[in-house]
Chain A
Amino acid sequence: MTYITDHAGDASLLKWRLLHLDWSDDDGNVDFRFTDCDVPLRYDSQTWDVRAFTVGSITQSPTGPSCTFSIPDADQELFPQLSDTNGAQGRMVLVYEAYFASDNATNTPTEVKQIYAGRVVTTRKNTAGGTDTVEIQCGPPTTTDAVEIPPRLYTSLVRAA
């Protein structure tokens, strides 16, 4: 049994989220690894920096789940990367949940579960009303090319009169 299944019914879990913006490429763009914990966490041999992002609702479609993220960006760390990568369109985003057993005093999670993987569809810088966030809307993890339905399956027949 794993820690997660053992404690699935607990009213409160020590659980933080890890957000991996897998945006590195040959042009000098970099990955971002954030956690919504107040302490930098360590997972996958990487340090996940403190950044209080929020994850919106995850919706399911026939091709896979979609999700929206809101990441504080008043310090303009993300925005230059977005400018350089056409809004990070098509780049991967992964979300994990990092569980900590109650006696785990370290910053290394007891168990980690991936809860989402998808590709960036659109990004938006929101500066309205005291907010300064980057909002990322993601689609299913596959590229649109990979799931394109052959045109013959959805073109309607034009009936002759």
Chain B
Amino acid sequence: MPLSVYPSDPLPAVPYEWSTYRPIASSGPAWRPVTRALTRFDCSTVRLPYFNLSWEDLEDLLTFWNSVGGANGIFMFIDFLGINDTPVGVLWENLYVCVGDSTTGSDGTAVYDLPCYDATVDATFKIYKNGTELVRDEGGGHINYTVDTTGTNGVNEITFNDPHRPLTTEIVAVTAQCRRVMLQARFVDQRFPFTLREPWSATGTLSIMEVR
């Protein structure tokens, strides 16, 4: 089932605070910490500032907030950074796509959602399998993968052609000029950050974090 998608209207004020983190588990004293990683790839958080919201804008946000059950729900978030640039978005490097679901590798095509929206598919666009780039066009009519601008779930979608279907032992990552998509995200706060009764607030900040 496709996830809900965070509303693109009203627009937050861009650029805004975007940060990345990698959770760890740690032990030992401060002068000799011993740590282990809990993620292989970056997770992101954003703080979306809204100004001059009309009552209708606020209702749109509240409707979405309620539709996912507040901080309980998981939804898809498409980043707004670089939304007014050409090409749209910014260059994102080494974003996690998937782990393959095939043990054989040569059983036809395979389709995955990319964490990208409006990606520019040119020389800067790179797909990696276990850190090694998979060339798109090998020449001689061998196209190893194709990228759809609007896939089934409303984001860029990659189709691996036979025999390049990723294996269960392969991690797929992407580098692309695009609007970054959090394929799964949630609200951080359990409280809707705007005042709804008079005087209702036209200004506020919604915090969203990536989950996996």
Contacts and interface: CB of A to CB of B under 8 A. Distances in A.
Bound pair: A and B? yes
A30 interface: no
A14 B37 CA distance: 6
Interface string B24-60: 1000000011111111110100000000000000000
A104 B68 CA distance: 38
A22 interface: no
A15 B169 contact: no
Contact of A107 (B32, B37, B132, B171): B171
A107 B131 CA distance: 11
B170 interface: yes
A13 B33 CA distance: 11
A37 B171 CA distance: 13
B41 A39 contact: yes
B34 A39 contact: no
A36 interface: yes
B206 interface: no
A105 B96 CA distance: 12
A44 interface: no
A105 B33 contact: no
A119 to B, nearest CB: 26
A38 B99 contact: no
A15 B39 CA distance: 10
A47 interface: yes
Interface in A24-48: 36-40, 42, 47
B99 A40 contact: yes
A11 B34 contact: yes
Nearest to B43: A38
A50 B212 contact: yes
Interface residues on B, range: 20 to 34
A36 B38 contact: yes
Contacts of B171: 39, 105-107
Contact of A106 (B32, B96, B169, B212): B169
Interface in B156-173: 168-171
Interface string B95-122: 0100100000000000000000000000
Contacts of B212: 38-39, 50
Contact of A38 (B34, B35, B36, B38): B38
A37 B43 CA distance: 12
B170 A39 contact: no
B195 interface: no
A106 B130 contact: yes
Given A40-B99, A107-B99, A47 B38 contact: no
A18 to B, nearest CB: 13
Contacts of A39: 39-41, 96, 99, 171, 212
B169 A107 contact: yes
A108 interface: yes
Interface in A4-22: 11-16
Interface of B: 24, 32-41, 43, 96, 99, 128, 130-132, 168-171, 212
Closest 3 A/B residue pairs (Cβ): A105-B131, A38-B39, A106-B130
Given A16-B38, A107-B170, 18 more contacts: A11-B34, A12-B35, A14-B36, A16-B36, A37-B38, A37-B39, A38-B40, A38-B96, A39-B99, A39-B212, A42-B169, A47-B168, A105-B130, A105-B131, A106-B130, A106-B171, A107-B40, A107-B171
